[in-house]
Amino acid sequence: MLTCYKVPTEDGKAKALITTGPTVPVMVNTTTAAGLIGVVILARHGDSTTYYQDPNTYNSTQAYITPLGEQQEFELGSFLRNTYLNSDSPSFIQNISTDVVNVDQLAVRADAGGGNGILNSAYALLQGLYPSTQKSEITLANGTNVLPPLGGYQYVPVQSLEYWQSPSLTSWMDCEYFQDHLIRLYASSSFINMSTTAAPFLTALKPYLGGVSNNFTNMWNIYDHVNVQYTYNQTYYETLPPTFLQQARYYADWVQRSVFTDSTSSSIGQVAIRTLFPEIFWALGNMTKTSNKVKMNIQEVDYKPFISLFNVTNATLTNPEISGIPNYASVVALELSQDSQGQYEISMKFKNGTEDSQFRQLEIFGNKSITLDSFMQQLIDTTIPINSTNDWCFSCNQTVLRGCSVFNFSNDPFLNGVGTGYTR
């Protein structure tokens, strides 16, 4: 039986009507002779300056992309160009403009918070995806030829999403139930045991932390400090003991995996991807329509949605090495194609920053490829996507910040744990 699923906009109105199908994953043929119909991209930003996150809330301070990060993103854009815009590639997207960008074929969105490190990463990626070209020259009515600046630079619009506009890309921030999730995690036996295991290392590392707390709950900031200093401080690079950077990354991976996953796919620890799914479903659903023009939907994001996405799709069961923090300029591609019977199918691929030279195929619910209907229905059933600011306010027990004050929750029995048996 088919189910209709509406993806509402921030004003609560239906954005798209998507028909979804069976709840059991349907395995399909992963090869298509005609190429791809489109792709949804989740790209992590490039290398940045120190990025402090409060371990009790995961609210963060601003960070700026570095020249290294800009180059990483440019190289990522070039990789995506060679993969999807090269007519000789098996992943070539049908009917996409390859040299001169058609802005109607791209939808690009980026988190604009902090120091614009993520937003500027999107611009650097796009420089590699559609580099400057003489082909962008135009001729005016009087016969004058005009080439855009910088040798034919191509300007691609990017929707910058500010923190206050929508929680879609930063849904863990100011989310009270997410903060409760952190409290429960830090008090759990698994966290306490791992903290005990890490204690000797964190004690040895303390002289290299420059005042950063070596509490295990602060593991993200510990790793970030070590990584930034090791990359940019020559003295630090030469004196940090061997394996210290790798050990800091190991424990940071463990903590971040614990923070941005949860006991069930619909729990608040998965909130980073639950607020992104409506955009992903809408984009893929639209790509199946003959009236659709968008071929690539690019979401430039932080590392957190990667961890949650891989967890809720069970990709980590067959590839456990991807369960931690993805490297800078990592990318997930959700590729949409059509088999010989006309059935739409989805495959998921991942490239872990510059560590990987090519995509690796991931499994979705145990399959290398599943039907689009099954992909959406499984995730709708298991994760309960958060479709609007109103839904986010309810899901996070937030009634004041981030636009929640405009909604009336005074008679809602589920907020603040009243009548639910839930205690904070």
Rounded Cα distance between 75 and 46, Å, is 10
The answer, yes or no, to whether residue 17 has pLDDT greater than 70, is no
The answer, yes or no, to whether residue 286 has pLDDT greater than 50, is yes
The answer, yes or no, to whether residue 100 has pLDDT greater than 90, is yes
Token pair recorded at residue 182: 């952190």
**What local confidence, expressed as pLDDT, does residue 98 receive?**
97
Rounded Cα distance between 392 and 178, Å, is 11
**What local confidence, expressed as pLDDT, does residue 35 receive?**
83
- pLDDT range class, residue 162, cuts 50, 70, 90: confident
Helix (H) or strand (E) segment spanning residue 299: strand 296-301
The answer, yes or no, to whether residue 419 has pLDDT greater than 80, is no
The answer, yes or no, to whether residue 14 has pLDDT greater than 60, is no
**What local confidence, expressed as pLDDT, does residue 189 receive?**
98
Instruction: For the chain, give the number of residues.
Output: 424
For 184, residues 6+ apart whose C-beta sits below 8 A from its C-beta are none
The answer, yes or no, to whether residue 16 has pLDDT greater than 50, is no
Rounded Cα distance between 8 and 388, Å, is 7
Rg of the chain on CA atoms, in Å:
22
What is the mean pLDDT of the segment spanning 96-124? 93
Collapsing DSSP states into helix, strand and coil, what is residue 106? strand
The answer, yes or no, to whether residue 170 has pLDDT greater than 90, is yes
For 387, residues 6+ apart whose C-beta sits below 8 A from its C-beta are 6, 7, 8, 278
**What local confidence, expressed as pLDDT, does residue 415 receive?**
58
What mean pLDDT is reported for the chain? Answer: 90
CA torsion 111-270-30-295 (nearest 10°) is: -20
**What local confidence, expressed as pLDDT, does residue 115 receive?**
73
Rounded Cα distance between 249 and 321, Å, is 13
What is the mean pLDDT of the segment spanning 18-45? 63
Token pair recorded at residue 144: 């004058």
Question: Could you tell me what percent of the chain has a pLDDT over 70?
Answer: 88
Question: Are 260 and 310 a contacting pair, CB within 8 Å?
Answer: no
Helix (H) or strand (E) segment spanning residue 348: strand 344-351
Top pLDDT among 213 and 408 is at 213
Helix (H) or strand (E) segment spanning residue 300: strand 296-301
Instruction: For residue 115, count CB atoms less than 10 angstroms from its CB and return exposed for 0-12, middle for 13-18, buried for 19 or more.
Output: middle
The answer, yes or no, to whether residue 172 has pLDDT greater than 90, is yes
Least confident of 96-105, 107-116, 155-164: 107-116
**What local confidence, expressed as pLDDT, does residue 416 receive?**
52
Question: Are 347 and 380 a contacting pair, CB within 8 Å?
Answer: no
pLDDT tens, position by position, 181-239: 999 999 999 999 999 999 999 999 999 999 999 999 999 999 999 999 999 999 999 99
- Quote the pTM value: 0.89
**What local confidence, expressed as pLDDT, does residue 377 receive?**
96
137: nearest Cα among 100, 104, 86, 98: 100
The answer, yes or no, to whether residue 372 has pLDDT greater than 90, is yes
**What local confidence, expressed as pLDDT, does residue 423 receive?**
38
The answer, yes or no, to whether residue 18 has pLDDT greater than 80, is no
Beta strand 344-351 pairing with 296-301: unpaired
Token pair recorded at residue 21: 């199908």
What is the mean pLDDT of the segment spanning 387-405? 92
Token pair recorded at residue 156: 């691609």
